[in-house]
Amino acid sequence: MSLPSSNKHAGAGVITCKAAVAWAAGEPLVIEEVQVSPPQPMEIRIKVVCTSLCRSDVTAWLSQAPMFPRIFGHEASGIVESVGQGVTEFEEGDHVLTLFTGECMRCSHCTSGKSNICQVLGLERQGLMHSDHKTRFSLKGKSVYHYCAVSSFSEYTVVHSGCAVKISSSAPLEKICLLSCGVAAGLGAAWKVANISEGSTVVIFGLGTVGLSVVQGAKLRGSARIIGVDTNPAKNEKAKAFGVTDLLNPNDYDEPIAQVIKRMTDGGADYAFECIGDTGMITTALQSCCDGWGLTVTLGVPKVKPEMAAHYGLLLTGRTLTGSLLGGWRPKSDLPSLVSMYLKGEIKIDEYITHNVAFDDINEAFELMREGKCLRCVIHMQK
């Protein structure tokens, strides 16, 4: 890895600030003083105001991949502190959401109108910046890896200008950060990917933030029956408040849960959503759909065993399986409309926030997530 390089543009200099650094898989994060480079061409440096903990942060933190030290975090809101050369769409003081998958507006996918998988600024898996494959963080002379080219568990971070979106300054940053990943992912899966129809039957596997966002989307589309499947009964009250009509705990049955669902829906649900990150559960979701038009959407990030297997007969009889990244939203083009919907009271966000913690207490958020005791913990980065 290369150390952060200097930048003379606009007189921006290196910033020293606090960041929660992961030194090894599964070990508590350590609040360290890190150096954050100025933004390079087509990059912006952001003062992170709030960031919420997503399950994928925890999954990556537990991974044994040799990418440490590392700064996690990707679901965040903040204020532009400085801009790099060539940046015209942002200026200092703009309120923004970070984007774990960007939108360059120029590649064949971005211009197709058919995809949100940017070929230039898609998921970054090497712990480096898209532009030069270097890092913008250093600690005691040692480079620190990024996460999803965002790394919001730092008071300041640098992202490509295509990996941030300007939002209304009237949107509360301590709430709206959830739209940069989890809530947007669930709503989009329901609306853009599945295009849920009125009067339909929907089953959702996993009632975390993403699953409950699918629930919200299904309810707003007028689904007649919304079945929630989860092994944690502590989620039941929240699930009902969001619109779940039937709650199922697989541990309460002696038969496969797919059979239970097919029986109670007279042949299977119209739509099934896998929001757990368990490839084995994808088969269960497929089995829970009806013949002919049953659609299964998988949203979860697998913790283990990324390969999946399913009997070809499930597809031969007309079922469809599709994936969903950020709910199919084009991040820079579409997320501002969700912010507007929130400000108008048309969608819920506040109700997903179960805990607010100070930056110094970030490890508490990780423990709450690991123990299944939270939906979203919002981490307040600035005192």
Q: Residue 189: is its pLDDT beyond 60?
A: yes
pLDDT at 8: 34
d(CA 378, CA 257): 33
Find out whether the peptide bond into 69 is cis, omega within 30 degrees of 0.
yes
- Residues 20/362, Cβ–Cβ less than 8 Å: yes
Matching residue, tokens 């809530």? 183
Question: How confident is the model at residue 302, as a pLDDT?
Answer: 81
How much is the pTM?
Answer: 0.94
Q: Look at residue 23 and tell me whether its pLDDT is greater than 80.
A: yes
Closest CA to 381 of 116, 27, 82, 77: 77
- The span from the CA of 195 to the CA of 215, in Å, is 13
The yes-or-no verdict on residue 6 having pLDDT over 70 is no
CB neighbours of 107 closer than 8 A, spacing ≥ 6? 118, 119, 120
pLDDT at position 84 is: 97
Q: Report, as an integer, the average pLDDT of 30-56.
A: 97
Q: Is the pLDDT of residue 375 over 80?
A: yes
Beta bridge partners of 296: 272, 321
- Please choose, from the candidates 106, 107, 153, 151, the residue with its C-alpha nearest in 3D space to the C-alpha of residue 129: 151
Q: Whose structure tokens read 């065993």?
A: 305
**Phi, psi of 239, rounded to the nearest 5 degrees:** -60, -45
- What pLDDT was estimated at residue 264? 96
In this prediction, residue 300 carries a pLDDT of: 83
CA distance 136 to 2: 9
Alpha-carbon distance 203 to 228, whole Å? 6
| Bridge partner residues of 82 (DSSP) | 45
Q: How far apart are the first and last CA of the chain?
A: 32
**Pick from 208, 180, 191, 230: which is nearest to 352 by CA?**
208
Q: Model confidence at 11, in pLDDT bands (50, 70, 90)?
A: very low
Task: Quote the mean pLDDT of the chain.
Answer: 94
Residue 307 has pLDDT above 70, yes or no: yes
Q: What pLDDT, on the 0 to 100 scale, is given for residue 5?
A: 38
- Rounded to the nearest angstrom, the gap between the alpha carbon of residue 72 and the centroid of all alpha carbons in its chain is 13
The region of weakest confidence among 57-66, 186-195, 223-232, 372-381 is 57-66
Q: Compute the average pLDDT of residues 121-128.
A: 95
| pLDDT > 70? residue 9 | no
State the Cα–Cα distance between residues 324 and 363, nearest whole angstrom: 29
Give the type of residue at 172.
P
Q: Which of 321, 317, 254, 247 has the alpha carbon at shortest distance from 284?
A: 321
The pLDDT of residue 52 is above 50: yes
Give residue 3's pLDDT: 40
> Residue 383 — very low, low, confident or very high, per pLDDT cuts 50/70/90?
confident
pLDDT at residue 2 greater than cutoff 50: no
Per residue in 327-350, pLDDT (tens digit) is: 999 999 999 999 999 999 999 999
Please state the three-class secondary structure of the chain as a single string: CCCCCCCCHHHCCCEEEEEEEECCCCCCCEEEEEEECCCCCCEEEEEEEEEECCHHHHHHHHCCCCCCCECCCCEEEEEEEEECCCCCCCCCCCEEEECCCCCCCCCHHHHHCCCCCCCCCCCCCCCCCCCCCCCCEEECCEEEECCCCCCCCECEEEEEHHHEEECCCCCCHHHHHHHHCHHHHHHHHHHHHCCCCCCCEEEEECCCHHHHHHHHHHHHCCCCEEEEECCCHHHHHHHHHHCCCEEECHHHCCCCHHHHHHHHCCCCECEEEECCCCHHHHHHHHHHECCCCCEEEECCCCCCCCCCCCCCHHHHCCCEEEECCHHHCCHHHHHHHHHHHHHCCCCCCHHHEEEEEEHHHHHHHHHHHHCCCCCEEEEECCC
In this predicted structure, the answer to whether residue 280 has a pLDDT above a threshold of 70 is yes
Q: pLDDT (tens digit, 9 = 90+) per residue, 217-268?
A: 999 999 999 999 999 999 999 999 999 999 999 999 999 999 999 999 999 9
For residue 318, what are its two tokens?
Answer: 């007309």
